[in-house]
Amino acid sequence: MPIILKDGSVYEVSSGTTWADVAAGLSRKLGKEAVAAKVDGELVDLLAPVRPEAKVEFLTFADEEGQTVYRHTSSHILAQAVKRLFPEAKLAIGPAIADGFYYDFDVDHPFTPEDLAAIEEEMKKIIKADYPLIRKEVSHEEAIALFQEMGEDYKVELIRDLPDDAQVSIYQQGEFVDLCLGPHLPSTGRVGVVKLLSVAGAYWRGSEQNKMLQRIYGTSFPKKKNLDEYLALLEEAKRRDHRKLGKELDLFGIAEEGPGFPFFYPKGMIIRTELENYWRAEHRKHGYLEIKSPVILSRELWERSGHWDHYKENMYFLKIDEQDYAVKPMNCPGAMIYYKTRTHSYREFPLRIAELGLVHRHERSGVLHGLMRVRCFTQDDAHIFMLPEQITDEIMGVMDLIDNFYNTFGFSYRVELSTKPEKAMGSDEIWETATNALIEALQIKGIPYQLNEGDGAFYGPKIDFHLKDSLGRSWQCGTIQLDFVNPENFDLTYISDDGTKKRPVMIHRVVFGSIERFLGILTEHYGGAFPLWLAPVQVKVITVASRHVDYAASVAQQLELEGIRVEIDDRNERVGYKIREGELEKVPYLLVLGDQEVESGMVRVRKRGAGDQGSASLAEFVANLKEEIEQKK
């Protein structure tokens, strides 16, 4: 019978062969590396019999879907190992995730690191035994009976949620049987190396109402080399952890006295201020006006904005002279008040009102994480008021602005568009107009995006920007959100060209998202080695011996006059010692000044991470610095 390969060619096979046979027939390498078949667009086990005239493509670990299959089988091996060592453990679910897999178990005994090691050993035995993974289809009824008999209550619950007439697929490997949609690797021996990484609590079905289970995380790769690379990446991430670097480089920190309320130390403040300066300069250039609204505002305002009803759990309240007040969790109501201080004409539009607004939100104690998740942070907010027909152009403008910012830091990014959710305010027409405006902007700019149907805010559709840092991790930062609710709630109007009062369209947008989080991301992205324009200390002047102190001081002073952030290290220490310290502090340039320099009136330049760069005149050095600062490289 004929089947059609990926390249369109026709391949003859006899009936009764499996996809695995086909793969092996095509090439020895493919036979070994194929993890699943994609038949007419559907993922299928390699052990499944071939379907005539089907179009087939073989997936390997190199394909994202192939990786998922690979890790999914790995999670079954984990479950099998756990059942061998802890027969009383009940199985919940065990999917593949981005860099590995997990499996949830209900056991009273808390898994220890020693348990993990033992489980990992057992997994290796299962891989070595090379059990085939056999798929069976059983009726709904049979499946329930089977898993009930095994005491797998969670599996029974899962099956009960499937329609009564559904066929249920189960997979068997050795003595182990699991409910599973598949597909799977043909046998456990196809998994190369496995590594269990951690154990943590996780709620059954992700709901706090349910029992907490124990989740074991792990990963697997075809070769040990791949695993080692992955583990090295995890190590690198640990080295770059902004909490660690923040402490080491004396940038910021969080005191026990204020969980979730970060302190910025002098060096961190410099970076922060540079970011804000850059932000202000760019926004001024793009026609934004800046305001600052107060941190505390009355209850009445928050009731009108809807926050009192919908956001209460996340807000801090206080009483002033018997009146209720709240600390702002968002900046929009402040912007609304500003808008309403006078009447507006359509001629002013788009009216771009920016605010670096400090907001406070109550976050549950367990979610706090350095600067990434805090209880007070500064949003680089802006609210733009405009005519409906200005939406597309304005969105494009904001997208350009965001693109510009992210490029400056060397971030690539991807974009997601979220549309109308179930419970939403505003008419279908306005949603459609607004969503189309967003799509149009994305299309004109030629930016590919992922569509999240129904994921928009209740007040409007949005575009989110997820940037990718130097370690390939993704962070949600920028967002552009259309808002139909606030203009309504606050009865915003403008005088239209026909002299009548009309309702403006409004967008919220942030570029950094939160300055605190962005600084955390930058710290990890650069591994603490900030580019010159951001570096807290740009140049450190090092003396060779005490007789060079005067010259060093005059060099430092001249640099300071040029607006360079300079420190001088004239301690009676060895040059090597002071250089080591400067490198560890990640200062971009060190100037080593000794007899030669005093005589020639030059400076000896050492570049961070690159070593001695030779001599230069101070003027030349300064010109280079200024150029590098200007270019923000």
Partner RNA sequence: GCUGAUGUAGCUCAGCGGUAGAGCAGCUCACUCGUAAUGAGCAGGUCGUCGGUUCGAAUCCGACCAUCAGCUCCA
Q: Determine, following the binding rule CB under 7 A, whether residue 604 of this chain makes contact with RNA.
A: yes
CA–CA gap between residue 142 and residue 202 (Å, rounded): 29
Q: Are 463 and 395 in contact (CB under 8 A)?
A: yes
Q: Determine, following the binding rule CB under 7 A, whether residue 596 of this chain makes contact with RNA.
A: yes
State the nearest-atom distance from the C-beta of 111 to RNA, in Å.
8
3-state secondary structure of 630: helix
Total residues interacting with RNA, rule: CB under 7 A: 68
User: What is the chain's length?
Assistant: 633
CA–CA gap between residue 458 and residue 114 (Å, rounded): 48
Please indicate whether residue 383 is annotated as part of the active site: yes
Measuring CA to CA, which residue among 579, 567, 570 is closest to residue 548? 570
Please indicate whether residue 361 is annotated as part of the active site: yes
Please indicate whether residue 161 is annotated as part of the active site: no
Q: Of 184, 508, 548, 586, which residue is the catalytic one?
A: 508
Which of 318, 547, 561, 563 touches RNA by CB under 7 A? 547
State the nearest-atom distance from the C-beta of 545 to RNA, in Å.
3
Please indicate whether residue 360 is annotated as part of the active site: no
State the nearest-atom distance from the C-beta of 214 to RNA, in Å.
6
Residue matched to tokens 């192939």: 66
* Dihedral sign (CA 403, 409, 412, 414): negative
Site string for RNA, 229-248 (x = CB under 7 A): --------------x---x-
Site string for RNA, 501-520 (x = CB under 7 A): ---------x--xx-xx---
Q: Determine, following the binding rule CB under 7 A, whether residue 577 of this chain makes contact with RNA.
A: yes
Which of 304, 369, 502, 626 touches RNA by CB under 7 A? 369
DSSP assigned state of 585:
T
Which of 41, 163, 266, 366 touches RNA by CB under 7 A? 366
Q: Distances in Å between the alpha carbon of 551 and those of 68, 224, 368, 569? A: 63, 56, 48, 12
**Amino acid, res. 472:** G
Which of 136, 280, 299, 373 touches RNA by CB under 7 A? 373
Report residue 532: phi and psi, to 5°.
-50, -45
* Dihedral sign (CA 203, 204, 205, 210): negative
State the nearest-atom distance from the C-beta of 129 to RNA, in Å.
30
Q: Determine, following the binding rule CB under 7 A, whether residue 287 of this chain makes contact with RNA.
A: no
Q: Determine, following the binding rule CB under 7 A, whether residue 124 of this chain makes contact with RNA.
A: no
Q: Which is nearer to RNA, 203 or 230 (CB)?
A: 203
Which of 173, 305, 390, 479 touches RNA by CB under 7 A? 479
Q: Determine, following the binding rule CB under 7 A, whether residue 166 of this chain makes contact with RNA.
A: no
Find all residues with CB under 8 Å of 487, minimum gap 6, and list them.
385, 503, 504, 505, 506
Which of 52, 87, 110, 499 touches RNA by CB under 7 A? 110
* Dihedral sign (CA 119, 120, 121, 122): positive
Q: Of 45, 381, 569, 570, which residue is the catalytic one?
A: 381
CA–CA gap between residue 452 and residue 419 (Å, rounded): 6
Please indicate whether residue 376 is annotated as part of the active site: no
Q: Are strands 462-468 and 449-452 parallel, antiparallel or unpaired?
A: unpaired
Q: Interacting stretch for RNA, rule CB under 7 A, among 255-263, 291-299, 302-310, 422-430?
A: 255-263
Q: Are 183 and 44 in contact (CB under 8 A)?
A: yes
Q: Is 203 exposed, middle or buried (0-12, 13-18, 19+ CB in 10 A)?
A: middle
Please indicate whether residue 332 is annotated as part of the active site: yes
Q: Interacting stretch for RNA, rule CB under 7 A, among 283-291, 373-381, 395-403, 532-540?
A: 373-381
Helix (H) or strand (E) holding 361: none
Q: Interacting stretch for RNA, rule CB under 7 A, among 181-189, 269-277, 293-301, 582-590?
A: 582-590
CA–CA gap between residue 277 and residue 273 (Å, rounded): 6
Site string for RNA, 398-437 (x = CB under 7 A): ----------------------------------------
Q: Please give the full DSSP string across 108-156, using - where no structure is assigned.
A: SSPPPHHHHHHHHHHHHHHHHHT-B-EEEEEEHHHHHHHHHHTT-HHHH
Q: Of 361, 525, 586, 604, which residue is the catalytic one?
A: 361
Binding site for RNA (CB under 7 A): 110, 198-203, 206-208, 212, 214-215, 243, 247, 254, 256, 259-260, 361, 363-370, 372-375, 377, 379, 476-477, 479, 510, 513-514, 516-517, 544-547, 572-577, 579-580, 583-584, 590, 592-597, 604, 606, 609, 611-612
Residues labelled catalytic: 332, 361, 379, 381, 383, 462, 508
